[in-house]
């Protein structure tokens, strides 16, 4: 479900937002790689009931992005995972996840990423999914839909329709939220050809790249999903909540490569 900008942005303004987003991604890439796979890396937990890690790299990554925004775009608001909200006057909000997949980062796996988006009141209008260790950057919005990485650059295009029995479905945690949410996920998973776990934001990038069909998750925050929404929608995919409505504030998320597989999964989630 595409979200339309409520603001009229000139081509020059759009280019400035794109350039700023890439500067943020460059800074976050450097900050996160400083600590990745270092033997002395440790983590605090943001919760007591479960291990919800935050590392020095999460904090440094967001601090460096916020410093750039304070210089380049002081009129814009910010919503970041580690340091919360900062008010602005422009009607635009930068939504930042300095490390999406801190558990993976802490474990040394390479599929964590940095999520950067800019949104108006209707939701994200441009986003980046950056994979610092792999060296891939996916972007979408303002007429762009592309990836640049070790194999060069390419346009992004979500996969065309195929039935669920031929589809690849991904999620981060096998539990997928509450018991009821997990049961709904398993109804879809039971009909899929292949189900894979644990790739965090990289799964959303793979929808945009055209290699998988579905991502289903629950319990997300705005900073988890806004960049993926922008990237996937620019590539022709669909991202909604489990009722088919907007999900840019987080919650339950169904990301699909096309309308047909989205409808098939949505029907099973709500059976």
Condensed to tens digits (0 to 9), the pLDDT of residues 59-96 reads 999 999 999 999 999 999 999 999 999 999 999 999 99
- Is 6 within a domain? no
Q: Where are the beta strands (DSSP E) in the chain?
A: 44-45, 53-54, 77-80, 84-86, 93-100, 113-120, 123-131, 136-141, 144-149, 152-155, 168-171, 194-197, 214-221, 238-240, 250-256
CATH of residue 51: 3.30.540.10
The pLDDT of 161-189, averaged and rounded, is: 96
- Is 68 within a domain? yes
Residues 139 and 199 in one domain: no
The pLDDT of 8-22, averaged and rounded, is: 97
Task: Report the predicted TM-score, pTM, of the whole model to 2 decimal places.
Answer: 0.95
Residues 171 and 246 in one domain: yes
- Is 44 within a domain? yes
Which of 120, 138, 155 delimits the end of a domain? 155
Whether residue 162 is predicted with pLDDT greater than 60 in this model: the reply is yes
- Is 2 within a domain? no
Which of 115, 135, 155 delimits the end of a domain? 155
CATH of residue 178: 3.40.190.80
Report the distance separating Cα 243 and Cα 122, nearest Å.
18
Which of 155, 187, 216 delimits the end of a domain? 155
User: So what's the pLDDT on residue 7?
Assistant: 79
Number of domains within the chain:
2
> What mean pLDDT is reported for the chain?
95
Residues 234 and 117 in one domain: no
- Per the structure, the complete domain to which residue 196 belongs is given by 164-269
- Is 216 within a domain? yes
Whether residue 3 is predicted with pLDDT greater than 80 in this model: the reply is no
Residues 31 and 143 in one domain: yes
């Amino acid at each position: 479900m595409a979200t339309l900008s409520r603001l009229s942005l000139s081509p020059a303004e759009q280019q400035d937002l794109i350039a700023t987003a890439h500067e943020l991604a460059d800074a976050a890439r450097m900050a996160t790689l400083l600590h990745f796979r270092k033997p002395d890396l440790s983590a605090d937990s943001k919760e007591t009931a479960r291990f919800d890690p935050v590392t020095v790299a999460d904090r440094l990554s967001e601090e460096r992005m916020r410093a750039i925004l304070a210089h380049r775009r002081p009129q814009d608001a910010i919503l970041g995972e580690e340091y919360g909200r900062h008010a602005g006057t422009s009607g635009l909000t930068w939504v930042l996840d300095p490390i999406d997949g801190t558990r993976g980062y802490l474990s040394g796996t390479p599929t964590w990423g940095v999520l950067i988006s800019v949104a108006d009141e209707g939701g994200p209008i441009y986003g980046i999914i950056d994979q610092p260790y792999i060296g891939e950057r996916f972007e979408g919005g303002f007429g762009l839909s592309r990836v640049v990485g070790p194999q060069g650059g390419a346009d992004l295009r979500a996969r065309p329709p195929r039935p669920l029995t031929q589809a690849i479905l991904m999620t981060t945690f096998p539990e997928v939220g509450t018991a009821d949410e997990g049961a709904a996920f398993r109804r879809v998973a039971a009909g899929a050809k292949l189900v894979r776990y644990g790739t965090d934001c990289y799964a959303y990038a793979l929808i945009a790249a055209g290699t998988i069909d579905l991502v289903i998750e629950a319990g997300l925050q705005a900073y988890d999903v806004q960049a993926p929404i922008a990237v996937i929608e620019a590539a022709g995919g669909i991202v909604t909540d489990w009722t088919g409505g907007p999900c840019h504030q987080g919650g339950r998320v169904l990301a699909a490569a096309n309308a047909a597989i989205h409808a098939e999964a949505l029907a099973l989630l709500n059976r």
